Amino acid sequence: MPGFADLQSCLGRAQGTGSGNPLQPHSVMSMRLVAVVVALIACVHAGLWALSWEQAAAPDVTGPLASVSYAPFADAEHPDRGHRPTAAQIRADLKAIAPHTRAIRTYSSTGGVELVPAIADEFDLKVTMGAWIDKHEDRNERELRSAIELAKKNQNIDGLVVGNETIYRGEQTVENLIKLIQRVKREVQVPVTTGEIWHRSPYPALLGGLLRESGGRSSNSHLRQAATDLSGQAHRDCRVRLAQRRL
């Protein structure tokens, strides 16, 4: 069994006073200095991030909104996973929305969203119909065909939005998206545009392509709408997802 001397030796090493290798005062100070420097660097980075972050105050709203973005899905529902909104659900949503806006915008035109224009017309709501565009060509084709057919059949559709943040997500090139917009524009009589994050996407190239496609007619209504969506200056949609929640 260990004797008293062994026990005393162990205690001495544990307390840094024995024959072990205790931390010297200058080592402790060095570690504390490193911790302080790291903390200061983190604070500087956080401050720079906060200063560079774009902030804007929400405008005061009086009277009906010009437009409200609408997706008729609740929680994690998604049309690709078999969840399709019913006409009754959409009708209840739009009944709640109608007193607060004159128009709605959708982000897709399939998966149950194709029911929206006809029901919106019951509440005298205009619809800017979206066609969701990503990297899947078969889905893109279904979206485009549905949006085109809906625009032909529903007089309350006042425009089509081909793609939403598609360039930002890297799922289409500017050239391909312009071709899709050109194709849709040839088949409908309403303005056609797209939606992108204006300060993080190559919108000048996209808008330039639309200008070339129209022969440089800057008064063209779909170009005005494109400039609105891409610049982010005038288009102030309030994104509302009602689904099972009601106003």
Residue 8 placed within a domain: no
Please count the structural domains in the chain: 1
Residue 131 placed within a domain: yes
> Can you list the positions of beta strands (E) in the chain?
68-70, 103-105, 126-131, 157-164, 192-195, 238-240
Instruction: Kindly give the confidence (pLDDT) of every residue in the chain, 247 residues in length, as a single tens digit, with 9 standing for 90 and above.
Output: 555 455 455 444 444 444 455 556 666 677 777 777 777 887 777 777 766 666 667 677 778 888 999 999 877 666 677 678 899 999 999 999 999 999 999 999 999 999 999 999 999 999 999 999 999 999 999 999 999 999 999 999 999 999 998 988 899 998 899 999 999 999 999 999 888 876 655 556 666 666 555 444 333 334 334 444 443 333 333 333 343 333 3
197: helix, strand or coil: coil
- Provide the residue type at 124 as one letter: D
Q: CA torsion, points 36, 40, 42, 45, in degrees to nearest 10?
A: -170
pTM above 0.75, yes or no: no
Structure-token match 């949006």, residue found: 147
Q: CA torsion, points 184, 179, 198, 132, in degrees to nearest 10?
A: 50
* Close Cβ partners of 129 (under 8 Å, ≥ 6 residues apart): 105, 106, 109, 116, 117, 147, 150, 151, 157, 159, 160, 161
- Provide the residue type at 161 as one letter: V
173: helix, strand or coil: coil
What was the pLDDT predicted at 88?
95
Residue 227 CA, distance from chain mean position? 18
Q: What is the CATH number of the domain that holds 213?
A: 3.20.20.80
Residue 230 placed within a domain: yes
- d(CA 234, CA 175) in angstroms, rounded, equals 25
- Residue ranges making up the domain that contains 149: 68-240
- d(CA 164, CA 186) in angstroms, rounded, equals 20
What was the pLDDT predicted at 16?
47
How many DSSP H helices and E strands does the chain contain? 8, 6
Residue 103 placed within a domain: yes
Residue 101 placed within a domain: yes
What was the pLDDT predicted at 37?
73
Q: Tokens for 163, please give them.
A: 């793609």
